[in-house]
Structure 1
Amino acid sequence: MADFSWFSKFPKLDRSTLLEIRKYLDSAFLDFSREYGDSIEAFFDPLLDFLIWFEKLLVQSPWWAVLLCITGLVYAVSRSWKLSLSVVVSFLLIGYLGMWEDTMRTLSIITVCTILAIVLGVPIGILMARSNRTQSIVTPVLDIMQTMPAFVYLIPVVMLLGIGKVPGVIAVVIYAIPPVIRLTNLGIRLVDKEVLEAATAYGANPMQRLLGVQLPLASPTIMAGINQTIMMALGMVVIASMIGVNGLGQPVLKSITNQYFTLGLFNGLAIVALAIIFDRVSQSYAKRSMKHIQGENHD
Protein backbone atom coordinates (compact mmCIF):
# COMPACT_ATOMS: atom_id res chain seq x y z
CA MET A 1 0.00 0.00 0.00
CA ALA A 2 1.35 3.46 -0.97
CA ASP A 3 2.73 5.69 1.79
CA PHE A 4 1.16 9.18 1.65
CA SER A 5 2.46 10.42 5.03
CA TRP A 6 4.80 12.85 3.23
CA PHE A 7 1.71 14.54 1.75
CA SER A 8 0.26 15.46 5.18
CA LYS A 9 3.48 16.94 6.59
CA PHE A 10 4.55 20.52 5.92
CA PRO A 11 7.87 20.63 4.00
CA LYS A 12 10.68 22.19 6.01
CA LEU A 13 14.44 22.52 6.15
CA ASP A 14 16.21 19.72 7.87
CA ARG A 15 17.37 20.48 11.39
CA SER A 16 21.09 20.60 10.62
CA THR A 17 20.67 23.10 7.74
CA LEU A 18 18.45 25.34 9.86
CA LEU A 19 21.01 25.19 12.69
CA GLU A 20 23.80 26.17 10.32
CA ILE A 21 21.81 29.18 9.05
CA ARG A 22 21.15 30.34 12.62
CA LYS A 23 24.80 29.91 13.59
CA TYR A 24 25.92 31.88 10.53
CA LEU A 25 23.53 34.76 11.23
CA ASP A 26 24.40 34.85 14.94
CA SER A 27 28.13 34.81 14.30
CA ALA A 28 27.78 37.52 11.61
CA PHE A 29 25.93 39.80 14.03
CA LEU A 30 28.46 39.08 16.79
CA ASP A 31 31.33 39.93 14.44
CA PHE A 32 29.55 43.15 13.46
CA SER A 33 29.02 44.11 17.12
CA ARG A 34 32.68 43.41 17.96
CA GLU A 35 33.90 45.37 14.94
CA TYR A 36 31.65 48.41 15.18
CA GLY A 37 30.25 48.30 18.73
CA ASP A 38 32.74 50.85 20.11
CA SER A 39 32.13 53.24 17.21
CA ILE A 40 28.36 52.99 17.66
CA GLU A 41 28.71 53.62 21.41
CA ALA A 42 30.88 56.67 20.72
CA PHE A 43 28.23 57.96 18.29
CA PHE A 44 25.60 57.82 21.05
CA ASP A 45 27.82 59.36 23.76
CA PRO A 46 26.30 62.88 23.32
CA LEU A 47 22.82 61.40 23.78
CA LEU A 48 23.97 59.59 26.93
CA ASP A 49 25.51 62.80 28.31
CA PHE A 50 22.28 64.69 27.66
CA LEU A 51 20.18 61.94 29.29
CA ILE A 52 22.36 61.97 32.41
CA TRP A 53 22.28 65.79 32.60
CA PHE A 54 18.52 66.01 32.11
CA GLU A 55 17.82 63.28 34.67
CA LYS A 56 20.06 64.98 37.25
CA LEU A 57 18.34 68.30 36.53
CA LEU A 58 14.90 66.85 37.32
CA VAL A 59 15.97 64.68 40.25
CA GLN A 60 18.30 67.11 42.03
CA SER A 61 16.33 70.32 41.51
CA PRO A 62 13.96 71.36 44.34
CA TRP A 63 10.67 69.53 43.96
CA TRP A 64 8.63 72.73 44.15
CA ALA A 65 10.68 74.32 41.32
CA VAL A 66 10.18 71.27 39.08
CA LEU A 67 6.46 71.17 39.91
CA LEU A 68 6.13 74.89 39.19
CA CYS A 69 7.87 74.52 35.81
CA ILE A 70 5.76 71.50 34.81
CA THR A 71 2.52 73.20 35.86
CA GLY A 72 3.47 76.40 34.03
CA LEU A 73 4.29 74.42 30.89
CA VAL A 74 1.00 72.51 31.10
CA TYR A 75 -0.97 75.74 31.47
CA ALA A 76 0.92 77.41 28.61
CA VAL A 77 0.06 74.52 26.31
CA SER A 78 -3.50 73.77 27.46
CA ARG A 79 -4.69 77.12 28.93
CA SER A 80 -6.71 75.07 31.40
CA TRP A 81 -6.64 75.77 35.15
CA LYS A 82 -8.47 72.51 35.85
CA LEU A 83 -5.84 70.45 34.06
CA SER A 84 -3.03 72.42 35.72
CA LEU A 85 -4.57 71.81 39.15
CA SER A 86 -4.91 68.10 38.35
CA VAL A 87 -1.21 67.99 37.48
CA VAL A 88 -0.30 69.62 40.81
CA VAL A 89 -2.47 67.19 42.79
CA SER A 90 -1.11 64.16 40.88
CA PHE A 91 2.53 65.08 41.40
CA LEU A 92 1.97 65.93 45.07
CA LEU A 93 0.45 62.48 45.60
CA ILE A 94 3.33 60.86 43.71
CA GLY A 95 5.85 62.68 45.89
CA TYR A 96 3.95 61.95 49.10
CA LEU A 97 3.96 58.22 48.30
CA GLY A 98 7.74 58.25 47.82
CA MET A 99 7.88 57.92 44.03
CA TRP A 100 9.12 61.40 43.12
CA GLU A 101 12.66 60.47 42.01
CA ASP A 102 11.56 57.45 39.96
CA THR A 103 8.85 59.57 38.34
CA MET A 104 11.39 62.24 37.40
CA ARG A 105 13.67 59.59 35.87
CA THR A 106 10.77 58.20 33.86
CA LEU A 107 9.72 61.71 32.84
CA SER A 108 13.24 62.47 31.60
CA ILE A 109 13.41 59.28 29.51
CA ILE A 110 9.91 59.74 28.04
CA THR A 111 10.62 63.39 27.21
CA VAL A 112 13.85 62.54 25.38
CA CYS A 113 12.21 59.61 23.57
CA THR A 114 9.29 61.80 22.47
CA ILE A 115 11.61 64.54 21.19
CA LEU A 116 13.66 61.98 19.24
CA ALA A 117 10.50 60.38 17.83
CA ILE A 118 9.21 63.78 16.66
CA VAL A 119 12.57 64.87 15.19
CA LEU A 120 12.93 61.59 13.28
CA GLY A 121 9.27 60.76 12.64
CA VAL A 122 7.86 64.02 11.27
CA PRO A 123 10.43 64.35 8.42
CA ILE A 124 9.90 60.68 7.47
CA GLY A 125 6.13 61.27 7.45
CA ILE A 126 6.64 64.33 5.23
CA LEU A 127 8.74 62.29 2.79
CA MET A 128 6.03 59.60 2.72
CA ALA A 129 3.38 62.21 1.98
CA ARG A 130 5.44 63.65 -0.89
CA SER A 131 6.31 60.31 -2.52
CA ASN A 132 4.13 57.25 -3.05
CA ARG A 133 7.27 55.18 -3.63
CA THR A 134 8.69 56.20 -0.24
CA GLN A 135 5.35 55.36 1.35
CA SER A 136 5.34 51.89 -0.24
CA ILE A 137 8.85 51.26 1.14
CA VAL A 138 8.38 52.68 4.64
CA THR A 139 4.90 51.28 5.35
CA PRO A 140 6.00 47.60 5.57
CA VAL A 141 8.86 48.64 7.86
CA LEU A 142 6.37 50.41 10.14
CA ASP A 143 4.14 47.32 10.09
CA ILE A 144 7.07 45.20 11.28
CA MET A 145 8.01 47.74 13.97
CA GLN A 146 4.45 47.82 15.33
CA THR A 147 3.83 44.06 15.31
CA MET A 148 7.25 42.77 16.39
CA PRO A 149 7.21 41.82 20.11
CA ALA A 150 8.90 44.54 22.13
CA PHE A 151 11.34 42.08 23.74
CA VAL A 152 12.83 41.29 20.31
CA TYR A 153 14.06 44.90 19.97
CA LEU A 154 16.12 44.47 23.12
CA ILE A 155 18.27 41.62 21.77
CA PRO A 156 20.25 43.41 19.01
CA VAL A 157 20.32 46.70 20.92
CA VAL A 158 21.80 45.08 24.04
CA MET A 159 24.29 43.08 21.94
CA LEU A 160 25.51 46.29 20.32
CA LEU A 161 25.38 48.76 23.21
CA GLY A 162 25.11 46.68 26.37
CA ILE A 163 22.81 47.57 29.23
CA GLY A 164 21.95 51.16 30.13
CA LYS A 165 20.02 54.28 29.24
CA VAL A 166 20.88 54.58 25.54
CA PRO A 167 19.81 51.03 24.59
CA GLY A 168 16.56 51.63 26.47
CA VAL A 169 15.93 54.90 24.63
CA ILE A 170 16.64 53.30 21.25
CA ALA A 171 14.29 50.40 21.98
CA VAL A 172 11.54 52.77 23.16
CA VAL A 173 11.91 55.03 20.11
CA ILE A 174 11.78 52.07 17.69
CA TYR A 175 8.64 50.81 19.39
CA ALA A 176 6.90 54.18 19.73
CA ILE A 177 7.79 56.08 16.53
CA PRO A 178 5.37 54.47 13.98
CA PRO A 179 2.23 56.46 15.01
CA VAL A 180 3.83 59.88 14.53
CA ILE A 181 5.19 58.81 11.11
CA ARG A 182 1.87 57.37 9.94
CA LEU A 183 -0.26 60.27 11.14
CA THR A 184 2.12 62.92 9.79
CA ASN A 185 1.84 61.24 6.40
CA LEU A 186 -1.94 60.98 6.73
CA GLY A 187 -2.41 64.56 7.95
CA ILE A 188 -0.43 66.07 5.07
CA ARG A 189 -2.19 63.90 2.48
CA LEU A 190 -5.60 65.00 3.82
CA VAL A 191 -4.89 68.70 3.28
CA ASP A 192 -7.40 70.06 0.76
CA LYS A 193 -5.83 70.24 -2.71
CA GLU A 194 -7.78 73.42 -3.47
CA VAL A 195 -6.00 75.14 -0.59
CA LEU A 196 -2.64 74.03 -2.00
CA GLU A 197 -3.63 75.26 -5.46
CA ALA A 198 -4.58 78.63 -3.99
CA ALA A 199 -1.21 78.86 -2.22
CA THR A 200 0.55 77.99 -5.48
CA ALA A 201 -1.48 80.64 -7.29
CA TYR A 202 -0.23 83.23 -4.78
CA GLY A 203 3.34 82.26 -5.69
CA ALA A 204 4.22 79.94 -2.80
CA ASN A 205 7.08 77.52 -3.51
CA PRO A 206 6.97 73.87 -2.24
CA MET A 207 8.76 74.70 1.03
CA GLN A 208 6.44 77.62 1.72
CA ARG A 209 3.40 75.42 1.02
CA LEU A 210 4.76 72.79 3.41
CA LEU A 211 5.60 75.17 6.28
CA GLY A 212 2.80 77.68 5.78
CA VAL A 213 -0.12 75.51 4.67
CA GLN A 214 0.32 71.73 4.96
CA LEU A 215 1.95 71.43 8.40
CA PRO A 216 -0.39 73.94 10.11
CA LEU A 217 -3.49 72.27 8.63
CA ALA A 218 -2.14 68.80 9.45
CA SER A 219 -1.05 69.76 12.99
CA PRO A 220 -4.12 68.27 14.79
CA THR A 221 -3.51 64.92 13.08
CA ILE A 222 0.22 65.12 13.78
CA MET A 223 -0.54 65.88 17.44
CA ALA A 224 -2.72 62.77 17.56
CA GLY A 225 0.30 60.81 16.33
CA ILE A 226 2.54 62.40 18.96
CA ASN A 227 -0.07 61.54 21.58
CA GLN A 228 -0.05 57.87 20.54
CA THR A 229 3.76 57.86 20.47
CA ILE A 230 3.88 59.11 24.07
CA MET A 231 1.38 56.46 25.18
CA MET A 232 3.40 53.70 23.52
CA ALA A 233 6.64 55.03 25.02
CA LEU A 234 5.10 54.93 28.50
CA GLY A 235 3.95 51.39 27.79
CA MET A 236 7.61 50.43 27.18
CA VAL A 237 8.81 51.79 30.53
CA VAL A 238 8.55 48.47 32.34
CA ILE A 239 10.14 46.49 29.49
CA ALA A 240 12.99 49.02 29.15
CA SER A 241 13.68 48.65 32.88
CA MET A 242 14.88 45.11 32.10
CA ILE A 243 17.96 46.58 30.37
CA GLY A 244 18.86 49.09 33.03
CA VAL A 245 16.57 52.07 32.45
CA ASN A 246 15.88 53.64 35.84
CA GLY A 247 12.43 54.91 36.75
CA LEU A 248 9.00 53.64 37.62
CA GLY A 249 9.49 50.48 35.58
CA GLN A 250 12.10 48.98 37.89
CA PRO A 251 9.85 48.88 41.01
CA VAL A 252 7.12 47.32 38.86
CA LEU A 253 9.59 44.70 37.62
CA LYS A 254 10.73 44.10 41.19
CA SER A 255 7.13 43.69 42.33
CA ILE A 256 6.56 41.06 39.62
CA THR A 257 9.62 38.99 40.58
CA ASN A 258 8.98 39.27 44.34
CA GLN A 259 5.16 39.39 44.28
CA TYR A 260 4.91 42.83 45.95
CA PHE A 261 1.38 43.76 44.95
CA THR A 262 1.22 47.22 46.54
CA LEU A 263 4.61 48.31 45.19
CA GLY A 264 3.58 47.36 41.66
CA LEU A 265 0.14 48.96 42.05
CA PHE A 266 1.43 52.33 43.28
CA ASN A 267 4.16 52.61 40.62
CA GLY A 268 1.73 51.41 37.96
CA LEU A 269 -0.72 54.12 38.99
CA ALA A 270 2.09 56.69 38.77
CA ILE A 271 2.73 55.59 35.17
CA VAL A 272 -1.01 55.88 34.50
CA ALA A 273 -1.02 59.40 35.96
CA LEU A 274 1.84 60.43 33.66
CA ALA A 275 0.03 58.89 30.69
CA ILE A 276 -3.21 60.74 31.48
CA ILE A 277 -1.38 64.04 31.95
CA PHE A 278 0.47 63.69 28.61
CA ASP A 279 -2.75 62.60 26.91
CA ARG A 280 -4.86 65.49 28.20
CA VAL A 281 -2.17 68.09 27.49
CA SER A 282 -1.59 66.91 23.90
CA GLN A 283 -5.33 66.65 23.22
CA SER A 284 -5.92 70.11 24.63
CA TYR A 285 -3.17 71.54 22.42
CA ALA A 286 -4.62 69.77 19.37
CA LYS A 287 -8.10 71.21 20.09
CA ARG A 288 -6.70 74.72 20.52
CA SER A 289 -4.75 74.50 17.25
CA MET A 290 -7.85 73.19 15.46
CA LYS A 291 -9.96 76.09 16.76
CA HIS A 292 -7.23 78.52 15.71
CA ILE A 293 -7.13 77.05 12.18
CA GLN A 294 -10.92 77.05 11.88
CA GLY A 295 -11.00 80.66 13.07
CA GLU A 296 -8.47 81.68 10.44
CA ASN A 297 -10.37 79.83 7.74
CA HIS A 298 -13.60 81.47 8.85
CA ASP A 299 -11.99 84.90 8.69
Structure 2
Amino acid sequence: MDWIEFPSLSRGDLLAIKKTVDGSFKDFTRAYGDIIDKMFDPLQDFLVFLEHLLINSPWPIVLAVFAGIVFMMSRKISITVGTVVALVLIGVFGLWEDTMRTVAMVTVCTMLAIAFGIPLGILMARSDRVQRLINPILDLMQTMPSFVYLIPVVMIFGIGKVPGLIAVVIYAIPPMIRLTNLGIRLVDPDVLEAADAFGSNARQKLVNVQLPLALPTIMAGINQTIMMSLSMVVVASMIGVKGLGQEVLNAINNQYLTAGVLSGLAIVSIAIIFDRATQAYGKRLQKHSEVVHG
Protein backbone atom coordinates (compact mmCIF):
# COMPACT_ATOMS: atom_id res chain seq x y z
CA MET A 1 0.00 0.00 0.00
CA ASP A 2 1.45 3.34 -1.05
CA TRP A 3 1.57 6.03 1.59
CA ILE A 4 0.02 9.35 0.65
CA GLU A 5 2.72 11.98 0.67
CA PHE A 6 2.21 14.62 3.36
CA PRO A 7 1.56 18.01 1.73
CA SER A 8 4.33 20.45 2.48
CA LEU A 9 5.90 23.61 1.17
CA SER A 10 8.79 23.23 -1.20
CA ARG A 11 12.24 23.96 0.13
CA GLY A 12 12.44 27.09 -1.99
CA ASP A 13 9.10 28.44 -0.75
CA LEU A 14 10.02 27.70 2.86
CA LEU A 15 13.38 29.43 2.44
CA ALA A 16 11.67 32.46 0.89
CA ILE A 17 9.27 32.72 3.85
CA LYS A 18 12.10 32.46 6.36
CA LYS A 19 14.11 35.12 4.53
CA THR A 20 11.09 37.43 4.41
CA VAL A 21 10.35 37.10 8.14
CA ASP A 22 14.00 37.41 9.18
CA GLY A 23 14.53 40.36 6.87
CA SER A 24 11.44 42.15 8.16
CA PHE A 25 12.53 41.68 11.76
CA LYS A 26 16.05 42.91 10.97
CA ASP A 27 14.60 45.99 9.25
CA PHE A 28 12.43 46.60 12.33
CA THR A 29 15.41 46.37 14.67
CA ARG A 30 17.46 48.74 12.51
CA ALA A 31 14.63 51.27 12.38
CA TYR A 32 13.41 51.16 15.97
CA GLY A 33 16.11 49.30 17.93
CA ASP A 34 17.76 52.46 19.28
CA ILE A 35 14.40 53.94 20.34
CA ILE A 36 13.38 50.76 22.14
CA ASP A 37 16.81 50.51 23.74
CA LYS A 38 16.54 54.04 25.17
CA MET A 39 13.14 53.20 26.66
CA PHE A 40 14.86 50.60 28.85
CA ASP A 41 17.68 52.90 30.01
CA PRO A 42 15.99 53.70 33.36
CA LEU A 43 15.60 49.99 34.02
CA GLN A 44 19.26 49.36 33.28
CA ASP A 45 20.27 52.31 35.48
CA PHE A 46 18.24 50.90 38.38
CA LEU A 47 19.78 47.45 37.96
CA VAL A 48 23.30 48.91 37.87
CA PHE A 49 22.52 51.03 40.95
CA LEU A 50 21.25 48.00 42.88
CA GLU A 51 24.29 45.94 41.87
CA HIS A 52 26.69 48.65 43.01
CA LEU A 53 24.76 49.10 46.25
CA LEU A 54 24.97 45.41 47.12
CA ILE A 55 28.59 44.98 46.03
CA ASN A 56 30.08 48.20 47.40
CA SER A 57 28.26 48.24 50.73
CA PRO A 58 30.17 46.64 53.62
CA TRP A 59 29.37 42.94 53.65
CA PRO A 60 28.31 42.86 57.35
CA ILE A 61 25.64 45.45 56.62
CA VAL A 62 24.38 43.56 53.56
CA LEU A 63 24.38 40.35 55.58
CA ALA A 64 22.44 41.99 58.41
CA VAL A 65 19.87 43.42 55.97
CA PHE A 66 19.35 40.02 54.34
CA ALA A 67 18.99 38.35 57.72
CA GLY A 68 16.52 41.02 58.86
CA ILE A 69 14.38 40.70 55.73
CA VAL A 70 14.33 36.90 55.98
CA PHE A 71 13.40 37.04 59.67
CA MET A 72 10.60 39.57 59.09
CA MET A 73 9.16 37.36 56.36
CA SER A 74 9.56 33.99 58.04
CA ARG A 75 9.66 34.83 61.77
CA LYS A 76 11.82 31.74 62.17
CA ILE A 77 15.27 31.73 63.73
CA SER A 78 16.27 28.55 61.90
CA ILE A 79 15.71 30.06 58.44
CA THR A 80 17.49 33.27 59.46
CA VAL A 81 20.51 31.39 60.82
CA GLY A 82 20.60 29.24 57.68
CA THR A 83 20.59 32.40 55.56
CA VAL A 84 23.52 33.89 57.48
CA VAL A 85 25.54 30.66 57.28
CA ALA A 86 24.88 30.25 53.55
CA LEU A 87 25.88 33.85 52.75
CA VAL A 88 29.02 33.63 54.90
CA LEU A 89 30.09 30.45 53.10
CA ILE A 90 29.42 32.14 49.75
CA GLY A 91 31.72 34.97 50.78
CA VAL A 92 34.40 32.59 52.09
CA PHE A 93 34.56 30.83 48.73
CA GLY A 94 34.99 34.13 46.86
CA LEU A 95 31.55 34.25 45.23
CA TRP A 96 30.15 37.27 47.08
CA GLU A 97 30.21 39.78 44.18
CA ASP A 98 28.77 37.33 41.66
CA THR A 99 26.06 36.37 44.13
CA MET A 100 25.13 40.01 44.72
CA ARG A 101 24.89 40.55 40.95
CA THR A 102 22.60 37.54 40.68
CA VAL A 103 20.49 38.73 43.62
CA ALA A 104 20.16 42.17 42.01
CA MET A 105 19.09 40.61 38.69
CA VAL A 106 16.53 38.31 40.34
CA THR A 107 15.19 41.17 42.47
CA VAL A 108 14.61 43.46 39.49
CA CYS A 109 13.10 40.61 37.44
CA THR A 110 10.73 39.73 40.27
CA MET A 111 9.69 43.36 40.69
CA LEU A 112 8.92 43.58 36.96
CA ALA A 113 7.03 40.28 37.04
CA ILE A 114 4.92 41.55 39.95
CA ALA A 115 4.32 44.93 38.30
CA PHE A 116 3.05 43.36 35.06
CA GLY A 117 1.84 39.97 36.30
CA ILE A 118 -0.62 41.07 38.99
CA PRO A 119 -2.56 43.51 36.73
CA LEU A 120 -2.74 40.87 33.97
CA GLY A 121 -3.88 38.27 36.51
CA ILE A 122 -6.59 40.66 37.72
CA LEU A 123 -7.76 41.21 34.13
CA MET A 124 -7.93 37.45 33.58
CA ALA A 125 -9.90 36.97 36.80
CA ARG A 126 -12.41 39.64 35.82
CA SER A 127 -13.01 38.45 32.26
CA ASP A 128 -13.32 34.92 30.90
CA ARG A 129 -12.68 36.31 27.43
CA VAL A 130 -9.36 37.83 28.51
CA GLN A 131 -8.46 34.55 30.21
CA ARG A 132 -9.12 32.60 27.00
CA LEU A 133 -6.97 35.10 25.12
CA ILE A 134 -4.00 35.14 27.52
CA ASN A 135 -3.89 31.45 28.47
CA PRO A 136 -2.50 30.26 25.10
CA ILE A 137 0.17 32.98 25.27
CA LEU A 138 1.17 31.80 28.74
CA ASP A 139 1.26 28.20 27.51
CA LEU A 140 3.58 29.27 24.70
CA MET A 141 5.82 31.21 27.09
CA GLN A 142 6.11 28.25 29.47
CA THR A 143 6.77 25.59 26.84
CA MET A 144 9.05 27.53 24.49
CA PRO A 145 12.72 26.55 25.01
CA SER A 146 14.40 29.26 27.05
CA PHE A 147 17.19 29.71 24.47
CA VAL A 148 14.63 30.91 21.92
CA TYR A 149 13.86 33.99 24.03
CA LEU A 150 17.44 35.13 23.57
CA ILE A 151 17.24 35.48 19.77
CA PRO A 152 14.80 38.42 19.41
CA VAL A 153 16.03 40.32 22.48
CA VAL A 154 19.66 40.07 21.34
CA MET A 155 18.69 41.24 17.84
CA ILE A 156 17.01 44.31 19.34
CA PHE A 157 19.21 45.13 22.33
CA GLY A 158 22.49 43.37 21.61
CA ILE A 159 24.55 41.81 24.40
CA GLY A 160 24.21 43.05 27.97
CA LYS A 161 22.03 43.36 31.05
CA VAL A 162 18.79 44.54 29.44
CA PRO A 163 18.31 41.64 26.99
CA GLY A 164 19.07 39.19 29.79
CA LEU A 165 16.60 40.96 32.06
CA ILE A 166 13.84 40.86 29.45
CA ALA A 167 14.47 37.19 28.64
CA VAL A 168 14.34 36.24 32.33
CA VAL A 169 11.10 38.17 32.90
CA ILE A 170 9.41 36.57 29.88
CA TYR A 171 10.44 33.14 31.14
CA ALA A 172 9.48 33.75 34.77
CA ILE A 173 6.27 35.82 34.61
CA PRO A 174 3.65 33.16 33.69
CA PRO A 175 3.31 31.71 37.25
CA MET A 176 2.75 35.24 38.58
CA ILE A 177 -0.10 35.83 36.14
CA ARG A 178 -1.69 32.39 36.53
CA LEU A 179 -1.63 32.31 40.33
CA THR A 180 -2.94 35.87 40.66
CA ASN A 181 -5.84 34.88 38.42
CA LEU A 182 -6.38 31.67 40.36
CA GLY A 183 -6.21 33.35 43.76
CA ILE A 184 -8.84 35.94 42.88
CA ARG A 185 -11.14 33.37 41.30
CA LEU A 186 -10.93 31.16 44.40
CA VAL A 187 -12.28 33.86 46.71
CA ASP A 188 -15.44 32.59 48.39
CA PRO A 189 -18.55 33.91 46.56
CA ASP A 190 -20.29 34.33 49.91
CA VAL A 191 -17.65 36.85 50.94
CA LEU A 192 -18.20 38.78 47.72
CA GLU A 193 -21.96 38.73 48.30
CA ALA A 194 -21.38 40.16 51.77
CA ALA A 195 -19.23 42.91 50.25
CA ASP A 196 -22.03 43.67 47.76
CA ALA A 197 -24.50 43.83 50.64
CA PHE A 198 -22.38 46.52 52.27
CA GLY A 199 -22.45 48.53 49.05
CA SER A 200 -18.88 47.93 47.87
CA ASN A 201 -18.15 48.78 44.26
CA ALA A 202 -15.92 46.67 42.00
CA ARG A 203 -12.73 48.53 42.95
CA GLN A 204 -13.45 48.33 46.68
CA LYS A 205 -14.16 44.59 46.43
CA LEU A 206 -10.90 44.06 44.57
CA VAL A 207 -8.71 46.11 46.93
CA ASN A 208 -10.37 45.30 50.25
CA VAL A 209 -11.61 41.73 49.72
CA GLN A 210 -10.27 39.83 46.72
CA LEU A 211 -6.59 40.83 46.79
CA PRO A 212 -6.16 40.35 50.57
CA LEU A 213 -7.77 36.90 50.40
CA ALA A 214 -5.76 35.99 47.32
CA LEU A 215 -2.44 37.10 48.85
CA PRO A 216 -1.31 33.58 49.90
CA THR A 217 -1.80 32.33 46.33
CA ILE A 218 -0.14 35.45 44.92
CA MET A 219 2.82 34.82 47.24
CA ALA A 220 3.07 31.32 45.77
CA GLY A 221 3.25 32.98 42.35
CA ILE A 222 6.06 35.26 43.55
CA ASN A 223 7.87 32.22 44.92
CA GLN A 224 7.65 30.39 41.59
CA THR A 225 8.72 33.51 39.69
CA ILE A 226 11.85 33.81 41.83
CA MET A 227 12.69 30.14 41.34
CA MET A 228 12.26 30.38 37.57
CA SER A 229 14.34 33.57 37.45
CA LEU A 230 17.19 31.79 39.20
CA SER A 231 16.92 28.83 36.84
CA MET A 232 17.22 31.21 33.88
CA VAL A 233 20.35 32.91 35.24
CA VAL A 234 22.74 30.44 33.60
CA VAL A 235 21.01 30.76 30.23
CA ALA A 236 21.05 34.56 30.45
CA SER A 237 24.80 34.45 31.08
CA MET A 238 25.20 33.46 27.43
CA ILE A 239 24.24 37.01 26.42
CA GLY A 240 26.50 38.85 28.82
CA VAL A 241 24.62 38.81 32.13
CA LYS A 242 27.28 38.72 34.84
CA GLY A 243 26.89 36.78 38.07
CA LEU A 244 26.82 33.19 39.19
CA GLY A 245 25.45 32.04 35.85
CA GLN A 246 28.51 33.36 34.06
CA GLU A 247 30.73 31.49 36.51
CA VAL A 248 28.86 28.27 35.72
CA LEU A 249 29.19 28.93 31.99
CA ASN A 250 32.93 29.58 32.31
CA ALA A 251 33.31 26.39 34.31
CA ILE A 252 31.54 24.44 31.58
CA ASN A 253 33.64 25.97 28.81
CA ASN A 254 36.91 25.36 30.65
CA GLN A 255 35.92 22.10 32.38
CA TYR A 256 36.48 23.51 35.88
CA LEU A 257 34.60 21.04 38.08
CA THR A 258 35.17 22.75 41.43
CA ALA A 259 34.28 26.24 40.20
CA GLY A 260 31.13 24.94 38.52
CA VAL A 261 29.98 23.00 41.60
CA LEU A 262 30.62 25.93 43.95
CA SER A 263 28.77 28.39 41.69
CA GLY A 264 25.90 25.91 41.33
CA LEU A 265 25.71 25.45 45.09
CA ALA A 266 25.66 29.24 45.53
CA ILE A 267 22.66 29.45 43.15
CA VAL A 268 20.96 26.64 45.07
CA SER A 269 21.62 28.42 48.37
CA ILE A 270 20.07 31.67 47.14
CA ALA A 271 17.11 29.70 45.76
CA ILE A 272 16.56 27.95 49.10
CA ILE A 273 16.76 31.25 51.02
CA PHE A 274 14.17 32.91 48.76
CA ASP A 275 12.00 29.80 48.73
CA ARG A 276 11.91 29.29 52.49
CA ALA A 277 11.34 32.96 53.23
CA THR A 278 8.51 33.44 50.71
CA GLN A 279 6.86 30.13 51.61
CA ALA A 280 6.92 30.96 55.32
CA TYR A 281 5.46 34.41 54.61
CA GLY A 282 2.75 32.86 52.43
CA LYS A 283 1.81 30.43 55.22
CA ARG A 284 1.60 33.30 57.70
CA LEU A 285 -0.73 35.15 55.33
CA GLN A 286 -2.82 31.99 54.94
CA LYS A 287 -3.19 31.58 58.71
CA HIS A 288 -4.04 35.24 59.13
CA SER A 289 -6.68 35.00 56.40
CA GLU A 290 -8.22 31.91 58.03
CA VAL A 291 -8.37 33.66 61.42
CA VAL A 292 -9.95 36.83 60.04
CA HIS A 293 -12.41 35.20 57.66
CA GLY A 294 -12.76 31.77 59.27
TM tier, smaller = over 0.9
Asked if 1:98 is matched to 2:98, the reply is no
Structure 2 spans left out of the alignment, 5+ residues: none
CA distance in 2: counterparts of 1:43 and 1:142, whole angstroms = 25
Matches within 5 A, 1:2-151: 7-151=3-147
Matched residue type, 1:197: E
Q: TM-score, normalised by structure 1?
A: 0.97
CA distance in 1: counterparts of 2:168 and 2:111, whole angstroms = 12
In the alignment, which residue of structure 2 is the partner of 1:269? 265
Asked if 1:180 is matched to 2:181, the reply is no
CA distance in 2: counterparts of 1:112 and 1:288, whole angstroms = 25
Matched residue type, 1:279: D
Number of corresponding residues: 294
Q: Aligned to 1:215, which of 193, 211, 215? A: 211
Give CA deviations for 1:90-147 in whole Å, capped at 9, x if unaligned.
Answer: 0000000100000000000000000000010000000000000000000000000000
Matched residue type, 2:55: V
Structure 1 spans left out of the alignment, 5+ residues: none
Q: TM-score, normalised by structure 2?
A: 0.99
Give CA deviations for 1:20-39 in whole Å, capped at 9, x if unaligned.
Answer: 00000000000000000000
Matched residue type, 1:264: G
Q: CA deviation at 1:40?
A: 0.2
Q: CA deviation at 1:294?
A: 1.1
My pick for the range that moved more, 236-245 or 75-84, is 75-84
Matched residue type, 1:132: D
Matched residue type, 1:16: G
- Output the aligned Cα RMSD: 0.9
Q: Aligned to 1:200, which of 196, 200, 224? A: 196
CA distance in 2: counterparts of 1:189 and 1:296, whole angstroms = 19
Give CA deviations for 1:148-198 in whole Å, capped at 9, x if unaligned.
Answer: 000000000000000000100000000000001001001100101110000
CA distance in 1: counterparts of 2:201 and 2:71, whole angstroms = 36
My pick for the range that moved more, 72-81 or 33-42, is 72-81
CA distance in 2: counterparts of 1:26 and 1:192, whole angstroms = 49
CA distance in 1: counterparts of 2:73 and 2:221, whole angstroms = 17
CA distance in 1: counterparts of 2:130 and 2:232, whole angstroms = 28
Matched residue type, 1:234: L
User: Runs of at least 4 residues of structure 1 off by over 3 A?
Assistant: none
Matches within 5 A, 1:150-189: 150-189=146-185
Matched residue type, 1:294: E
Q: CA deviation at 1:295?
A: 1.2
Percent identity between matched residues is: 62
In the alignment, which residue of structure 2 is the partner of 1:283? 279
Q: CA deviation at 1:8?
A: 3.7
